[in-house]
Chain A
Amino acid sequence: MAELRRDPIVGRWVIVDTDHPSAPGDFKYEQNIQKGGTCPFCYGNEAMTPPEIDVFREGGTAPNTSGWQVRVVPNKFPALGVEGELNRRPLGLYDMSNGIGAHEVLIETPYHAKDICDLLPQEVENYLKMCCRRAVDLAKDKRFKYLMFFRNFGSAAGASLEHPHTQIVALPMVPKNALEEIHGAKSYFDYRERCIFCDIIRQETQEKNRIILENKYFISFCPFVSRFPFEIWIMPKKHSGHFCYMPPEEIAALAVILKDTIAKIKKVFVNLSYNYIIHSAPINGDGEVEYYHWHIEFMPKLTQTAGFEWGTGFYIDPTSPELAAQYLKGIKE
């Protein structure tokens, strides 16, 4: 009998196929094969992007030239514009505003063909440090209420450029899914006076059957209510609403667990396309929130979501998270 599981945070029900679970070999996914060609994110092509916003580079090299390790540039085709006022207004029964926001691209490495799992821990650390630095900087703009850090890797996951990169979008309102997550977490906190994410970590580290990796500061696990097969969450053990204030030792621990988790799943699924998103508390609103806990949600692109999921917000997971975790745990990096 399949199981229906309810997400304890947002209340979403998911069908988990525990009867005839799909094994890794059952997924016919679109493999991500690089085609090459001129890349605006490679060394020597710095002039092909808008001028850099922030960068880690070797001493003595000039801005917008080679010699950088991590580079942040504005998105050449931004979804939102950074200049102007929001001007919220009605249109009959509808509400709208100008598309104000920031849209940046964080180029993680000069290497065109290296995913995070192929980098050195130190290089991943630099990438994460830059994420934090951009978050701190963008939060100074009081028009912004939410920062999205997300990564589309591979064309099936929506990446239009092959060179590994993370996108940053600063939004003038808190998006719907984030609001739901926050409301869910808050109502749990109101009732129990405990953070639901801290409780999840407690239960997961006790039950262990969904845990993939664990170190001093982080766990990576397949959530009890996975929407997608082999969905993975990486969570800090220490309670914090915002990711950008991590001390160096936590950044180092995150670099290792992120790198190793991606290495594992890419061993199971060769040339996998995937997305991950950093879920963090809203900015320029309430101060530090005791009920919200930042984390990373990692979604491998193995299946097509179809009409059923769109229409209902009701997902079907063909591989139980317990089984997925077991496969991933068994892989040696």
Chain B
Amino acid sequence: MPELRKDPIIGRWVIISTERGKRPDQFNGKQEEGVSEETCPFCEGSESQTPPEISAIRPGNTAPNAPGWEVRVVPSISPFLRIEGELDRRGKGLYDLMNGVGAHEIIIETNQHIANMADLSDEQISKVLKCYAGRIADLEKDKRFKYVLVFKNYGKRAGGGSLRHSRSQLIATPVNPKRVKEELSGSRQYFDYHERCVFCDLIRQEIEQKERLILDLDGFIAISPFAARFPFEIWILPKKHCADYTCQDSESIKYLGKVMKIVLSKLKKGLNDPSYNYVIHTAPFRRQKAGYWKTIEQDYHWHIEIIPRLTRVAGFEWGTGFYICPLPPEDAASFLRGVEV
């Protein structure tokens, strides 16, 4: 009998197909061979091929836009949103619109031509994670922005294109994205009733039940969530409650780097280097105003969601927000626990 499971935070129902489901080892994420690029604009020595850098980690205090960096942030060449201008909110008949103001940046995660973040060292991943925090804090100063979304598209099926150089992106938006709002209001509802954070409760239950737990290490857990939308969907949650990604100290970032390395390596080894996306879920910027939401520090809990792209999302999922997951998360977690890295 398949099961219907409800996401405790945003209330989305998912069909967990237990019978027709493939076995975990039947999923194969193997990607088509990419064409080898002549020159990669993200490699050390090609700095002039990108727009001038916004920030960079340069241990030897080398000059901007020159070699000698470890992590480098540049504006996107084809930005979705533009940094200059006012929002100019307006109506058009019954429709609402505003100008596409925002920031769109690329975080180049290594000066070497390495495709998958899983192949970077723990320390290098930590530097990238620290760089995210720095960019979010910097963009918060711009009063036009409400949210910064940090995400990664790795591999063609995940929208990462054919350029095989490890990078992530961030987009600062002038409105709170819908999905973020749903998560926030779901968490607040739970808090209003229980006076506890839903994520903290979830962490407690997952550590106790163990069957969806992939990793419990250095203050973080990695789980296959109860109402997973996709086979091998993974969430990484900090055990220490905090609403904002940026509240981590350098020790926490160091440990998160280690956890990311293990989880991404398990995916790579266990599923034949699949394409994947990850998204950092963090609280929006808080700017004092009337009706200001006072419990967000207590009711929301930052985390990372990783989605390997192993199946195609069809019309059913788009139209309904109702997902069919062909692999129970318990089986996915047990498989990933067994992958030695």
Contact = CB atoms under 8 A, between A and B. Distances in A.
Interface of A: 1-6, 8, 10-13, 15-17, 20, 77-81, 84, 91-100, 148, 150-152, 155-159, 167, 169, 171-173, 175-178, 180, 196, 199-200, 203, 207, 224-225, 275-277, 279, 297, 299, 304-308, 310-314, 316
Contacts of A299: 315, 318
B93 interface: yes
Interface in B263-281: 277-279, 281
Contacts of A78: 20
A175 B81 contact: no
Contacts of B277: 306-307, 310-311
Contact of A152 (B159, B305, B315): B315
- If over half of A's interface residues share one DSSP class (helix, strand or loop), that class is named, otherwise mixed; here it is mixed
B103 interface: no
Contacts, number: 217
Residue with the greatest number of chain A CB neighbours at <10 A, chosen from B81, B97, B99, B157: B97
A150 B4 contact: no
A304 B12 CA distance: 23
Contacts of B279: 307-308, 310-312
A97 B318 CA distance: 22
Interface in B137-164: 149, 151-153, 156-160
A279 B320 CA distance: 9
Given A97-B4, A157-B314, A308 B20 contact: no
Contacts of A176: 10-13, 320-322
A306 B6 contact: no
A153 B305 CA distance: 30
Secondary structure class of chain B's binding surface, majority of residues: mixed
B64 interface: no
A207 B98 CA distance: 19
A12 to B, nearest CB: 5
Contacts of A12: 178
Contacts of B160: 306
Contacts of B63: none
A151 B92 CA distance: 33
Contacts of A4: 97-100, 174-175
A176 B12 CA distance: 6
A185 to B, nearest CB: 12
12 contacts: A1-B85, A77-B20, A94-B8, A99-B4, A148-B316, A158-B312, A177-B319, A178-B321, A207-B93, A276-B315, A277-B315, A314-B179
Interface in B112-170: 149, 151-153, 156-160, 169
Nearest to A17: B80
